[in-house]
Structure 1
Amino acid sequence: MKELNYSEIYVPNVKGRYITYDHINDFINGLPNTFKLDEVGQSVRGESIKSITFGNGPKRILMWSQMHGNESTTTKAVIDLLNYLKQNVTEVSDISNACTLKIIPILNPDGARDYTRVNANKIDLNRDAQDLSQPESRVLKNVFEDFKPDFCFNLHDQRTIFNVGDTNKPATVSFLAPAFDMERNNSPSRKLSMQLIAAMNSRLQEVIPGHVGRYDDGFNANCVGDAFQMSKTPTILFEAGHYFEDYDRDKTRAYIFKALLKGISILLNNTISNYKVEQYLSIPENGKQFVDVVIKNDNYISNHLTKNGVVAIQYKEVLNNDKVEFKPEVHVFEKEPKELFAHKTLNCNDDNDLKWLKENDLLNLLS
């Protein structure tokens, strides 16, 4: 597949962290008749849950995003993917002939509207795979059983705390081949998940070397990825993370798009056997050593601030008038990291840093 100019694929009207069906309906309703748009169910509050189906090939790929309503980066990436699939080019025709893609862009529309992880009943849908107590959980299970996918792509966001291994590189994208049992054994389906992740990682290392991590594989049968892996369907967890000064995650969406396209290309061309389980296992596990801001208060005597040494700040995402704001809070670690990394480091002894702290109302956290 030839290299794309992503700027021509990017959908600029779908941006920022707050994404609901209001933000994507114009786009998905305007898709050409090569796409099939369906209502596959309704949320707790009765909002429509939609799926888009493209292609008529034998390889069936199911994707869903915003199972957690405040995790919207991958939704933007699948909108970009759909925009790419609108093109009248040979590569898209090849995908259509070889694959059938079914995408649920927002599984949890109530959580998306409230900008919360949970649904309107305050249930985490990714802990409801066995009970199926929520309508959104039952929608996904019904689509899974009706569609009978060969691969599932479970699309999420992760917090800014994650780094790759022990390095000071943020985990911009993380992957997981979910376990299917408590012992975290391998199975044919899990091995295929690992091989496809290895392929997507090879692509991402070309554009963000060192910024790909491996998510924790602790088994939980209530998690959807683990449950689908238990049913012998290769399932891949995508986690969209932080990139430098990209709190809106418009850079990260591009990397998720590139990973999705690489995965589809591998399945299209039957080249998954070129990648090995060992390549997946060589991806460093995620650490939790990042905070958003570190404030060094070396000059506490002359600036009359409390001697706190180093203060770690983590942003809390707050929805205000349909816009996500980042509110700084002092961060207390459950477990002190071996080494602390920050997306931004400021020193009260530096006049420019002190000015930034004042303008962003962070000085009160030192007083």
Structure 2
Amino acid sequence: MDSLQLATDNLEPNLKGKFIHLDVILPLLESLKSVFEITEIGKSVLNRPIHQVKIGTGKTKILMWSQMHGNEPTTTKGLFDFFNFLSNDSEVAQQIKNKYTLLCIPMLNPDGAFAYTRENANSVDLNRDAYLSSQPEMKLLRTLHKDFKPDLCYNLHDQRTIFGTEGFNLPATISFLAPAYNESRDYNEVRLKAIVIINKMNKALQEYIPNQVGRFDDSYNVNCTGDFFTTQNTPTILFEAGHFQGDYAREESRKFIFIALLSSLLGNYENVIVDNELDDYLRIPQNNKRFFDFIYKNVKIIDNSVEKIINFAAQYQEVLIDGKIHFIAIISKISDLEDYSGHVEYDCEALLFNSDRKCFPELGKKATFELNNLTKFNNGLKII
């Protein structure tokens, strides 16, 4: 079975780019009501509806939620692609629906999605509200967890382009975590159940993105949703959709989320050798913060009348303007870049930097400049 082809074939065409909000998914939910059980289960701070999609009749119950952070839509796209796959009558889709009951919240934070912010309308990070449960969206998730009593939880997120896989000069396109349940970050039976599934997903993804699957940091914080649910004895898996080469709209990354979801539900988890599973999990390279979107090398500057050769980096900021996400390249670091890589790198060949008549880059400024007044860069990219 070619999982990447399946992901491509089931791509939801009405979900594109990075601005995915409630008005975009409501028509899709309406169209899925003929095949799945779809229910409005609560409201956001600003009274926007929150829906659940219930799929399958199997014994094993999985609770999954996406867009807990409103500006992290890639897993929402991958989730709807997976809905498309499960809505057909293929043998594999039917097997999944017979084995599992999936309870999916495709958009937990609709207010944040509209504003394209990480937080909800009360400026609270829902993924730091699990223990206190102060926000209506988190109260809803906690209630679902209590009532549904899932065997597994999938916590679906995006991660920034800064992350790579340790030991490889490659982006962390997908990362996973079996969250800790205590400060010592010990491994118990609950955490090991999540690890077994992560290993299955990693094995499947290595066929398509070798060495681009990372292991997220497992620092313990009971306020984090995954950590909290793990302390409640529910195996929980953090999914992080990251950067794939050149894919800033994350139309490729969504396919790898689809592959992860599919592979997690195939086969069985019995008769596993725990020591081997833990070893395999710990061999997944950790995420490291080694990337900038742009690095400019061998740039000549004039500092206090002295010529110098430096390197500097720029990072995109994502800004919502008139209903569209704009990528604004901002100068983020100057020199000391030996341990960093760029998704795009330029050798500037000791040409003189010039921006607004200044012969040196400034932190926080847009990466629009010239070299020797001839070679031009606009918003990070070389244009001449």
TM-score, scaled relative to structure 2: 0.87
- What is residue 273 of structure 1 aligned with on the other side? 272
Question: How many residues of Structure 1 are paired with residues of Structure 2 in the alignment?
Answer: 357
RMSD: 2.5
Instruction: Give the CA deviation at 1:22.
Output: 1.1
Closer/same/farther in 2, CA of residues 15 and 272 from structure 1, 3 Å limit? farther
Secondary structure of the residue that 2:32 maps to in structure 1? coil
Any idea what the Cα deviations from partners look like across 1:54-82, whole Å, max 9, x if unmatched?
A: 00110101110000100000000000000
Any idea what the Cα deviations from partners look like across 1:161-218, whole Å, max 9, x if unmatched?
A: 1110132100000100000000001111100111110110000001000001100000
- What is residue 316 of structure 2 aligned with on the other side? 315
> Structure 2 regions of 5+ residues with no counterpart?
352-369
Note if contact 1:54-1:101 (Cα within 8 Å) is conserved in structure 2: yes
User: CA–CA distance in 2 between the matches of 1:263 and 1:336?
Assistant: 41
Secondary structure of the residue that 1:123 maps to in structure 2? coil
* 2:378 aligned residue (349, 360, 366): 360
Note if contact 1:154-1:236 (Cα within 8 Å) is conserved in structure 2: yes
- What is residue 189 of structure 1 aligned with on the other side? 190
Instruction: Give the CA deviation at 1:33.
Output: 3.0
Secondary structure of the residue that 1:313 maps to in structure 2? strand
Note if contact 1:196-1:272 (Cα within 8 Å) is conserved in structure 2: no
User: CA–CA distance in 2 between the matches of 1:20 and 1:356?
Assistant: 42
Closer/same/farther in 2, CA of residues 41 and 272 from structure 1, 3 Å limit? farther
User: CA–CA distance in 2 between the matches of 1:119 and 1:69?
Assistant: 7
Any idea what the Cα deviations from partners look like across 1:15-36, whole Å, max 9, x if unmatched?
A: 1011011111111110153301
User: CA–CA distance in 1 between the matches of 2:317 and 2:49?
Assistant: 29
Note if contact 1:195-1:272 (Cα within 8 Å) is conserved in structure 2: no
Letter in 2 for 1:345: E
Closer/same/farther in 2, CA of residues 251 and 356 from structure 1, 3 Å limit? farther
Closer/same/farther in 2, CA of residues 232 and 336 from structure 1, 3 Å limit? farther
Note if contact 1:195-1:276 (Cα within 8 Å) is conserved in structure 2: yes
- What is residue 365 of structure 2 aligned with on the other side? none
Closer/same/farther in 2, CA of residues 16 and 271 from structure 1, 3 Å limit? farther
Secondary structure of the residue that 1:11 maps to in structure 2? coil
> Structure 1 regions of 5+ residues with no counterpart?
none
Instruction: Give the CA deviation at 1:331.
Output: 1.2
Instruction: Give the CA deviation at 1:340.
Output: 1.1
User: CA–CA distance in 2 between the matches of 1:234 and 1:356?
Assistant: 57
- What is residue 140 of structure 2 aligned with on the other side? 139
Any idea what the Cα deviations from partners look like across 1:286-321, whole Å, max 9, x if unmatched?
A: 1111000011244558xxxx8561111011110111
Any idea what the Cα deviations from partners look like across 1:62-111, whole Å, max 9, x if unmatched?
A: 11000010000000000000000111111111111111001100100000
Note if contact 1:199-1:272 (Cα within 8 Å) is conserved in structure 2: no
- What is residue 346 of structure 1 aligned with on the other side? 346
Note if contact 1:289-1:338 (Cα within 8 Å) is conserved in structure 2: no
- What is residue 81 of structure 2 aligned with on the other side? 80
Closer/same/farther in 2, CA of residues 357 and 183 from structure 1, 3 Å limit? farther
User: CA–CA distance in 2 between the matches of 1:314 and 1:23?
Assistant: 28
User: CA–CA distance in 1 between the matches of 2:349 and 2:143?
Assistant: 59
Q: How does 1:91-102 map to 2 (within 5 A)?
A: 91-102=92-103
Kindly name which structure, 1 or 2, has the bigger radius of gyration based on alpha carbons: 2
Instruction: Give the CA deviation at 1:336.
Output: 6.0
Q: How does 1:175-254 map to 2 (within 5 A)?
A: 175-254=176-255
The structure in which a higher percent of residues are strand is: 2
The structure in which a higher percent of residues are helix is: 1
Note if contact 2:161-2:242 (Cα within 8 Å) is conserved in structure 1: yes
User: CA–CA distance in 2 between the matches of 1:238 and 1:105?
Assistant: 14
Note if contact 2:290-2:339 (Cα within 8 Å) is conserved in structure 1: yes
Secondary structure of the residue that 2:207 maps to in structure 1? helix
1:30 aligns with 2:31: yes
Q: How does 1:10-21 map to 2 (within 5 A)?
A: 10-21=11-22
Note if contact 2:44-2:50 (Cα within 8 Å) is conserved in structure 1: yes
Note if contact 1:288-1:337 (Cα within 8 Å) is conserved in structure 2: no
Closer/same/farther in 2, CA of residues 271 and 350 from structure 1, 3 Å limit? farther
User: CA–CA distance in 2 between the matches of 1:246 and 1:117?
Assistant: 21
